[in-house]
Chains A and B, each alone.
Chain A
């Protein structure tokens, strides 16, 4: 050991100088990639405050004289507010159902032993492999036959099913770590299973529920494929379906397009900034296990 320690300072100096050169290089690369994620967003927001002609000719310049014309157009002519509300109702509804039903199933799967449990788990993992493409035609048929197509339910129901598996697996993973003693104490106090679920397991699993709701909200808010097929009528379509429409109808109105993107992206980004810690937590708990 002795010689190793006495050599240490020399080696330290050597590695340190090389290290700092490497570190500078790393900061440069990291900052460069950070610019690719920040600059486009800045560009789009900046350009949303210009008239179309300026978006075309002076897309780099700062909107020092911001105009609101694109925003008024977006709300008055293409009724983007309506789509906001639609998105909010449908994604919010999906999140609620997923949390309730996923939470109940997760509670059973993490705390009970019963025949067929292993099979159930394998089935849930296999379910993650079924893409929406493989179910869309029969689901569409079902929604037409039950007159649910082009209603809020037309998106909420399939998306609830689509997100349930992921949610159940994540929440069950979290609930499995809750101490048995807590459960026994509650049982002694006379809790039945339903009370146990609402009074003990849901509050204790709040972090898992929080991260699941964020992801389910994002995925349903951003899901274009289902929106195009199940709820493409003007009065019910969510914001992504409207957005895809804008690109073909108003493809030459650059200011309006920039604004539509800005309006879709900004609320999500603002929420993200506040809850990014949860997102990463949820991601690491959920995605790797799932």
Chain B
């Protein structure tokens, strides 16, 4: 088809323009800004690696990193774990499958902000659902958003929000396993728990890997829950909220960008690490 080559560039142009103006250029600009001390947009001064030096000695950033990692741990164990258990169960039942699939997905479509408000109502000390429940059972009320509980309290909605998403991915992966495998296993007398650990899980390991990577990169971006529920107070500051505060609240664009670059590098390293760790176990069919 002669003369068609021009369409390649015409059709790709809008996307290339959007990505260049709003993603690639800004990304490199952030990198550039991370070497500057800034006051607003017009007052910039080159300071070399100073922002990165500050990064290393920044205790609040260290705390935010640890909090992010703690939430990540909950996400990998509980979010991915619950999704996997639910998927195995749904795979093994015969009735109401589509009902469960639809209902488990509910939270995924709701905005993190709305879920945060919901949990604010649940956690309220005087009148919240949880303390209402406790007092009706004759128990002491709990300060859910106090220093010692707050991080776990924001991790709960974070975990709950996306279980359904990974659940659907797992269910789909399981539905693609050839039936013969199960028939063969049945002949060998492999059922129940053993069938799950020896057959189902090894066969969907590559999907589990994808999900864990998604969970890691997703947790790096945690923002809504923490921002709306606690504003990062009471030991809940995560990288997302800390970056927002430095860049947008303090208008410290140079240091804010440095934190953003740190987040990207940190996220990529963690994702690669997870990939490496899970690689040896993979089985394909």
CB-contact partner of B15 in A30, A104, A254, under 8 A: A104
Give the shortest distance, in Å, between A141 (CB) and chain B (any CB): 5
How far, in whole Å, are A221 and B107 apart by their CA atoms in the complex? 14
Residues of B within 8 A of A141 (CB): 29, 41, 253
The yes or no answer to A210 lying at the interface (CB within 8 A) is: no
Q: Is the CB of B106 within 8 A of A38?
A: yes
The contact string, 1 if C-beta is below 8 Å from chain B, for chain A 22-33, is: 110011011001
Which of B51-59, B117-125, B147-155, B273-281 interfaces with chain A?
B117-125
Instruction: Check: A51 CB closer than 8 A to any chain B CB.
Output: no
Return chain B residues, CB-CB under 8 Å to A90: none
**Which 8 A-B pairs give the minimum distances between C-beta atoms?**
A161-B22, A222-B111, A56-B127, A138-B26, A135-B26, A138-B29, A105-B15, A104-B11
Compute how far the CA of A224 lies from the CA of B106 in the bound complex, rounded to whole angstroms: 19
Closest to A102 in B: B15
Q: What is the total of A-B residue contacts with beta carbons within 8 Å?
A: 265
Q: Is the CB of A139 within 8 A of B26?
A: yes
Q: What 1/0 flags go to B217-245 for Cβ under 8 Å of A?
A: 10011011001100000000001100110
Q: Contact between A23 and B93 (Cβ–Cβ < 8 Å)? A: yes
A57 touches B (CB below 8 Å): yes
Q: Contacts A41-B106, A57-B127, A279-B105 known; A142 to B260 CB distance under 8 Å? A: no
> Is B82 touching A261 in the complex (CB atoms < 8 A)?
no
A120 to chain B minimum Cβ distance, whole angstroms, is: 8
**Contact check: which of A43, A108, A130, A144 meets B8 at CB < 8 Å?**
A108
Interface pair B89/A272, CB less than 8 Å apart: no
How many residues on chain B are close to A (CB under 8 Å)? 95
The verdict on A11 contacting chain B, using a C-beta distance below 8 Å, is yes
Apart from A120-B12, A269-B110: 19 A-B pairs, beta carbons within 8 A: A33-B163, A34-B99, A130-B27, A135-B27, A141-B253, A142-B22, A144-B41, A161-B21, A168-B15, A228-B248, A240-B114, A243-B117, A264-B111, A276-B105, A280-B101, A283-B168, A284-B168, A284-B169, A287-B169
Interface residues of B, dominant DSSP: helix
Instruction: Name the B residues within 8 Å of A15 (CB-CB).
Output: 191
A180 to chain B, nearest CB (A): 12
B79 interface contact, C-beta 8 A: no
- Could you give 15 example pairs across A and B, Cβ below 8 Å? A26-B89, A27-B93, A33-B163, A36-B160, A101-B15, A105-B12, A112-B4, A133-B259, A135-B26, A136-B26, A137-B253, A193-B1, A194-B7, A261-B121, A287-B169
